[in-house]
């Protein structure tokens, strides 16, 4: 029997403020410490073009864009990110850790902002066609996560501004997504000290 190859495309998902960026950073440091060649990237963004789209979708009034327009903007950003950053790194044999990816679109635009799940899947198949090897879904109480997220005062709070009920619906959606894809998703309790969460994450690799 041969051992399965180590995961090379790893994503972090979850509600706003759940600690994804922190955990993505800690995992990248851990894997680099083990001698792996790792790039740490994020969505929306991760390439110059996608970073420009990021500021369009994350700032301004909550109703600035419809769910449909958002879906097109996030997909355009992801296509550029995959073309310019993710695919070249994977082709060079590097490990890619990404803070959010297509599961965020499935949840935010597909299931929570609008009833667009089928359109999201079709657009993903047409334009992206790439899935992570491993996804950590960081799960926690939305009120605590929202407090953490808003305390950052990043100026990119368009989705946090949609409120607690929105974040609670998202949380349920992320939990269901993790249950539906046990092959690649690991549900992680994010309501613990960052170092404890990081040790839990690392134990899955
Ligand atoms: P996300 O990327 O999911 O929005 P971040 O990693 O940016 O979350 O964390 C949001 C805020 O919460 C940051 O100020 C961060 O320092 C803090 N934070 C992250 N993880 C923890 C944790 N396990 N416990 C307490 N605070 C945390
Ligand atoms: P991010 O900066 O990761 O936010 P946070 O640190 O608060 O978790 O992501 C920005 C926002 O963009 C976040 O609220 C989720 C949203 N988003 C979507 O709605 N669809 C997507 O496809 C992606 C990647 C993000």
- Give the Cα separation of 25 and 124 in Å (integer): 26
Average pLDDT (154-180) is 86
Q: Which atom of ligand 1 is nearest to the CA of 17?
A: 4
- Nearest-CA residue for ligand 2 atom 19 is 108
Average confidence (pLDDT) over 55-62:
90
The structure's pTM equals 0.95
CA of 189 to the centre of ligand 1 (A): 13
Using the predicted structure, report yes or no on whether residue 49 has a pLDDT greater than 70. Answer: yes
Using a 6 Å CB cutoff, which residues line ligand 1? 14, 16-22, 148-149, 152, 193-194, 197
- CA 112 – CA 93 distance, rounded (Å): 36
Q: Which span out of 58-62, 110-114, 169-173 was modeled with the highest average pLDDT?
A: 169-173
Predicted confidence at residue 93, as pLDDT, reads 96
Domain positions in the chain are 9-203
The pLDDT of residue 78 is 98
**pLDDT of 156:** 73
Q: What is the pLDDT of residue 147?
A: 86
* Range 9-203 has CATH code 3.40.30.10: no
| Span 63-87, average pLDDT | 96
Say if residue 26's pLDDT is above 80: yes
Measured CA distances, 113 to 14, 66, 121, 149 (Å): 15, 8, 15, 19
Angle between helices 67-81 and 117-127 (to 10 degrees): 20
Q: Which ligand is nearest to the CA of 156?
A: 2
Using 50, 70 and 90 to split pLDDT, how confident is the model at 3? low
Q: How far is CA 161 from CA 61, 70, 157, in A?
A: 9, 16, 6
Ligand 2 centroid, distance to 1 Cα (angstroms): 40
**Tens digits of residue pLDDT in 99-155:** 999 999 999 999 877 689 999 999 999 999 999 999 999 999 999 998 887 777 677
Ligand 2 binding site (Cβ under 6 Å of any ligand atom):
16-17, 20-21, 43-44, 58, 74, 99-100, 104-105, 108-109, 149, 156, 159
CA of 2 to the centre of ligand 2 (A): 38
The dihedral through the CA atoms of 5, 136, 84, 26 has a sign that is: negative
pLDDT surpasses 90 at 161: no
Identify the residue whose C-alpha is closest to ligand 1 atom 23: 194
193 Cα nearest atom in ligand 1? 23
Mean of per-residue pLDDT scores for the chain: 93
In the reported structure, the alpha carbon of residue 119 is separated from the centroid of ligand 1 by a whole-number distance in angstroms of 32
| pLDDT confidence of residue 6 | 78
Q: Check pLDDT > 70 for residue 1.
A: no
């Amino acid at each position: 029997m041969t051992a399965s190859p180590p995961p090379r495309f790893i994503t972090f998902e979850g509600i706003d403020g759940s600690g994804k960026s922190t955990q993505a950073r800690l995992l990248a440091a851990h894997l680099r410490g083990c001698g792996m060649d790792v790039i740490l990237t994020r969505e929306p963004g991760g390439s110059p073009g996608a970073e420009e789209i990021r500021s369009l979708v994350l700032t301004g009034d909550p109703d600035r864009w419809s769910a449909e327009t958002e879906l097109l903007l996030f997909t355009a950003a992801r296509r550029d990110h995959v073309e310019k950053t993710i695919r070249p790194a994977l082709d060079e044999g590097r490990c890619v850790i990404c803070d959010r990816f297509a599961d965020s679109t499935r949840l935010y635009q597909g299931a929570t902002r609008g009833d667009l799940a089928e359109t999201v899947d079709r657009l993903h198949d047409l334009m992206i066609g790439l899935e992570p090897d491993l996804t950590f879904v960081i799960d926690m109480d939305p009120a605590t996560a929202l407090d953490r997220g808003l305390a950052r005062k990043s100026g990119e709070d368009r989705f946090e501004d949609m409120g607690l009920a929105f974040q609670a619906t998202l949380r349920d959606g992320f939990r269901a997504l993790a249950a539906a894809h046990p092959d690649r998703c690991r549900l992680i309790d994010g309501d613990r000290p960052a170092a404890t969460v990081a040790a839990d994450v690392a134990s899955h690799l």
